[in-house]
Amino acid sequence: MSDIDPALPPFARALLPDLHRSFLRAAAGGVVLVLAAGIALVGGHPALWFALAGYGVGVALSLVLMRRGYPHGRLGLCNRVTLARLALTAALLAPLAGDVAVAWAVPVVALLALSLDGLDGWLARREGLSSGFGARFDMEVDSALALILALNAMAAGSAGAIVLLIGVPRYAFAAAGLAAPWLDGPLPERFSRKAVCVAQIATLIALQLPPVTPEFGNPLVAVVALMLAWSFGKDILWLRRARA
């Protein structure tokens, strides 16, 4: 049974397959979550529009990925959970644009986004909807969350520019892949990679806590940066050997 969205305008129903309409319907529901989390973060500040714009860009890019190849005929709960994580991540853009945030709200929203990580993958396996798209969608939301939290930590003064070392590694790796396409090859599942990713996000959430100062935050960032360098280095060596 396909997910059909009667609420979309006729031209969208005519141009998009049922699955993509279902994705947009779920994404439209995510707008409510962006607004709810955004209001918790900055109240009624106009910076909410920045969060909504970021969410819109994320949804558009995700739809492009889905159209490139999604092997299933239904969206499932798994992809809806990842969309919810995207909505929470986008809401965290509001404090950056408004330079204001309710105390403790940033770590709470970020912790909620982290708590949903892994649930989407578990649901995908349970629903029989595992796919390369789902794995990529999940990874890109994780990467965006890391970058946005790193920028929030800098803005809050809990860490210096060094925090970007644990906010941009995924994007640096992707940029390297443009010069060396073999870096864009498929990687095997590895528990250590997931553990380091969780440590990365957990550290970035800890840096959002009001008492944290650079004297504590910067050394913590350095440790996690070394963990990320080890994890990415391991993947690069594996890809190099696979290429050979």
Tens of pLDDT, residues 173-212: 989 988 888 888 888 888 898 899 999 999 999 999 988 8
| Spans of all domains in the chain | 10-243
pLDDT classification of 7: cutoffs 50, 70, 90:
very low
Comparison of pLDDT for 33 and 69, the residue scoring more: 33
Specify the pLDDT at position 98: 79
Give me the torsion for CA of 19, 49, 170, 177, rounded to 10°: 70
Q: How far is CA 179 from CA 209, 210, 218, 237, in A?
A: 38, 40, 31, 16
CB of 220 closer than 8 Å to CB of 166: no
Given a cut of 90, is residue 91 above it in pLDDT? yes
3 state SS of 151:
helix
Residue 82's pLDDT is 96
The span from the CA of 224 to the CA of 159, in Å, is: 13
Q: Report how far apart, in Å, the C-alpha atoms of 86 and of each of 98, 129, 144, 230 are.
A: 20, 19, 9, 27
| Domain 10-243 of CATH type 1.20.58 | no
pLDDT score recorded for residue 187: 84
Cα distances (Å, whole numbers) of residue 147 to 8, 46, 178, 185:
32, 22, 20, 23
Q: Helix and strand tally (H, E) in the chain?
A: 11, 0
The yes-or-no verdict on residue 15 having pLDDT over 70 is no
* Residue 145 to residue 201: CA distance in whole angstroms: 8
pLDDT band at 223 (very low <50, low <70, confident <90, very high): very high
